[in-house]
Structure 1
Amino acid sequence: MPTVSQFGALAARSHAVITTHQHAGGAYPASPTFSAYRGYAWLRDGGFTAEGVSRFGDVTSANRFHDWVSRVLADRRGQVDDLRALRSAGAAVPIERMLPTRFTFDGQNGSDPWWDFQTDGYGIWLWSVVTHAERHGLDLARWRPGIDVAVDFLTAFWDLPCFDWWEEHDEHRHVSTLGAIHGGLRAVAFALDNHAAAETADAARQLALTEGVRGGHLTKWLGSDAVDGSLPACVVPFGLVDAGDPIATATLAKVSADLDVDGGVHRFTADVFYGGGQWLLLSALLGWNLAQAGDRAGAWRHLTWIADHATADGEFPEQVPDHLLHPDSRQEWLDKWGPVATPLLWSHGMYLILADELGLLR
């Protein structure tokens, strides 16, 4: 097991990896070297990465990221207004006209095909920017142009099926997506007294709890029985269900039983991406929830597992192949996209969050 100083050194290294690769314009690249991610920034990845940086105390880096997002979204004010008008008129809105899930560093849409309609990132960014501002006593007026666009987009389209956190299954409505929307809109509702955000957050929560619970736990999508490694986020930090609520307890227990192996957490049991390995960021997410629930031993178990999977130069990959769910599928992804994304900035951001929960950043 690493020493406390080694855990702290990995936190410093995580901050250095994130800020070294942060684009001059403020974007956090998903991964600077991975073929499919290089050149793009996601609101989902970046929102969690910014939270880790904010907890580390680097206000400037987090501000620059939120500045970048606000500019990118403000530039799409007219697009969102047009989309909302179409929906208000009862017209079908083609999925290809929706805001994308990822942007180039200069704020443009990607030029290559992608699984783009994903609403979770907009909720995650809203939660991230509000949380950052509250932590450091900052005025949200700096980011209001982007916040207003994200709120208007989500309040209009929160209930539509879309791709999930893993950019799959756009035919479903995903509980983790509803959780992220709830968390982001609830944060805005409290911070800015926004009634539309509050009403939509409540509606997302009601839908998830009505159709997204089976066997007493949250499920991967509405009507499913399975769980997903992203579901703990519905408890901490997004508060779709309160920590300690029986549904929250059952969800964490089910994710642990079905997806946690020796401290590393899988995305879902049918995952074939790179053979279905264990994801460091999901290990941190579950550990974060355990820490908040008072299980510090469990949280340390996950932090230790993550630290044990750093490369020799202190970089964290997206996933590791220690315990593959579908090993026969690994080679096809290696052939298609090359080695697993390393470093993944989201992994580093989540390490910082869990390290902070355990007192290592103070």
Structure 2
Amino acid sequence: MLGALGLGGAVAQERWALISLFSSTVALRAPGAQVAIARDAASQVVPGTRILHAATHGERLAADEAAVIALADAASDAAGLSTPHRDLLRGATLDLHVLGAGLPAPVASWSEGWRLVWPRDTAHVAVAWQRLGRGDHAAGMVHELAVLAGADGWFEARYSPAGAEVPDGRPRQLDGTGWFLWALDEVRTSAPDLVADAVVVDAARRAVSLLLDLTLGGDALPPASPDYWEVPEVRPTIATCALVEVGLARGARILAELGDDDAADEARERAAAVRAGIAHAFGPTGYGRYAGRAAADAGLMFLLPPYALEIDPAVAAELDAAQLAMARPAGGVAPGALWRRDGVTWTPQTAMFAQARAHLGDAHGAAALLTWLADHRTSDGSLPEKVLGTGEPASVAPLGWTAALVVVALLA
């Protein structure tokens, strides 16, 4: 599939970005005490682990990791994964473990600027742990998202690990509300006590109410809001619209579970209206980033499983063209066709395509992308945020969002 879609597409090398690898992995020096490992300091880490040679309470750390590895291996057995993909699942699970050790919610990575909690990332990590069989662990993360939810149902772009809003001027993001409801609906199937958690239930009701209020217009589409690109927007993006629909559809299921049938029916009907509005506004130009513009964007995958409850054939039909339009020279993709042409692959969006293909039954296409991701890990086995046009890992490693997407894709 990679070769067929031309993921080695040509981009002038003189325009390629040069980005350092800020960390090759993250390791524990004691329980709940992480440290970012520079690319030239790999000898500090016990091979195949996320533990420093000089760590204190090493036996406890090793026992914790052994339990994580056993979980990953059991999931690999159940999914019938090949040896390379078993190794990828182990590494991704260890990445998730180290980024959340001792914290109520995982951080994106451990380098400065990434040592923060994003609602999007936390939702994905929670679902990954649910897929791995740790519903209790996942439920704790969903509870933390409920704690972070604003009184009006909005989420900030990101938070400090202590749970405080990060005062960096980034506007709040509507997609966070959708991410929360998606994760809650997914995780509650393995952690039924979540719908008895008053904090979670109250946050879910506020979240659904917000989405209903913001989709009252004629086309039922939400207002403009920053999405995973984290840049100001003056018109709704496909990602924000999709996550609003996902939030309403998932919220309807949650409200039905709570016995609130009238509210569930309203949310379900509004989700259908939003979906119809998306098809009308974005469908004619291939579900691109903006309505009326043919500009492929990873946000279209939020209209497909595991986010959407059903496969939309019209959206699925755009997947090949979107992957080709977003391709980068070393393999993988950028966040969208409108993203800067700097030769850089972003691993979360590449893993999103793998996840989408796995859920659509394209085992070959998913496996090719997952193998590419496995081949472009750091020397310590962690999944980086970016891969340069030269094929070198760059930015931070591990990135929790990528690790979570890889887990879900492998276990789909």
Over 3 Å counting, the alpha-carbon distance change for 1:151 and 1:244 in structure 2 is closer
Q: Does 1:205 align with 2:205?
A: no
Q: In structure 2, what is the equivalent of residue 180 of structure 1? A: 243
CA drift of 1:306 comes to 0.8
CA RMSD of aligned residues (A): 2.4
CA drift of 1:135 comes to 4.0
- Which stretches in structure 1 are left out of the alignment for 5+ residues? 82-97, 325-338, 358-362
Contact 2:242 2:299 in 1 (8 A): no
In 2: Cα distance, 1:263 partner to 1:250 partner: 21
Q: In structure 2, what is the equivalent of residue 243 of structure 1? A: 311
- Which stretches in structure 2 are left out of the alignment for 5+ residues? 1-80, 216-221, 257-263
Q: In structure 1, what is the equivalent of residue 291 of structure 2? A: 222
Over 3 Å counting, the alpha-carbon distance change for 1:205 and 1:323 in structure 2 is farther
- State the AA in 2 paired with 1:272: R
Contact 2:357 2:366 in 1 (8 A): yes
Q: Does 1:9 align with 2:87?
A: yes
Contact 1:264 1:280 in 2 (8 A): yes
Which of structure 1's runs of 4+ aligned residues deviate more than 3 A?
135-139, 260-263
In 2: Cα distance, 1:120 partner to 1:244 partner: 20
Larger Rg, first or second structure (1 or 2): 2
In 2: Cα distance, 1:253 partner to 1:156 partner: 35
CA drift of 1:126 comes to 0.8
CA drift of 1:53 comes to 1.5
Q: In structure 2, what is the equivalent of residue 95 of structure 1? A: none
Secondary structure of 1:264 counterpart: coil
Secondary structure of 2:411 counterpart: helix
Matches within 5 A, 1:233-272: 233-239=302-308, 242-243=310-311, 245=313, 247-261=314-328, 264-272=332-340
Q: In structure 1, what is the equivalent of residue 44 of structure 2? A: none
Matches within 5 A, 1:1-362: 4-22=82-100, 24-33=102-111, 35-38=112-115, 40-73=116-149, 76-77=150-151, 80=152, 99-114=155-170, 116-142=171-197, 143-157=200-214, 159-193=222-256, 194-215=264-285, 217-239=286-308, 242-243=310-311, 245=313, 247-261=314-328, 264-272=332-340, 275=342, 277-322=344-389, 340-357=395-412
Contact 1:19 1:61 in 2 (8 A): no
Contact 2:139 2:188 in 1 (8 A): no
In 1: Cα distance, 2:318 partner to 2:173 partner: 23
In 1: Cα distance, 2:407 partner to 2:181 partner: 19
In 2: Cα distance, 1:292 partner to 1:21 partner: 26
State the TM-score, normalizing by the size of structure 1.
0.79
Q: In structure 2, what is the equivalent of residue 328 of structure 1? A: none
- State the AA in 2 paired with 1:243: I
CA drift of 1:285 comes to 1.4
In 2: Cα distance, 1:53 partner to 1:227 partner: 30
Contact 2:208 2:248 in 1 (8 A): yes
Secondary structure of 2:159 counterpart: strand
CA drift of 1:271 comes to 1.8
Secondary structure of 2:189 counterpart: helix
CA drift of 1:263 comes to 5.1
In 2: Cα distance, 1:318 partner to 1:198 partner: 36
CA drift of 1:284 comes to 1.9
Q: In structure 2, what is the equivalent of residue 94 of structure 1? A: none
Secondary structure of 1:208 counterpart: helix
State the TM-score, normalizing by the size of structure 2.
0.70
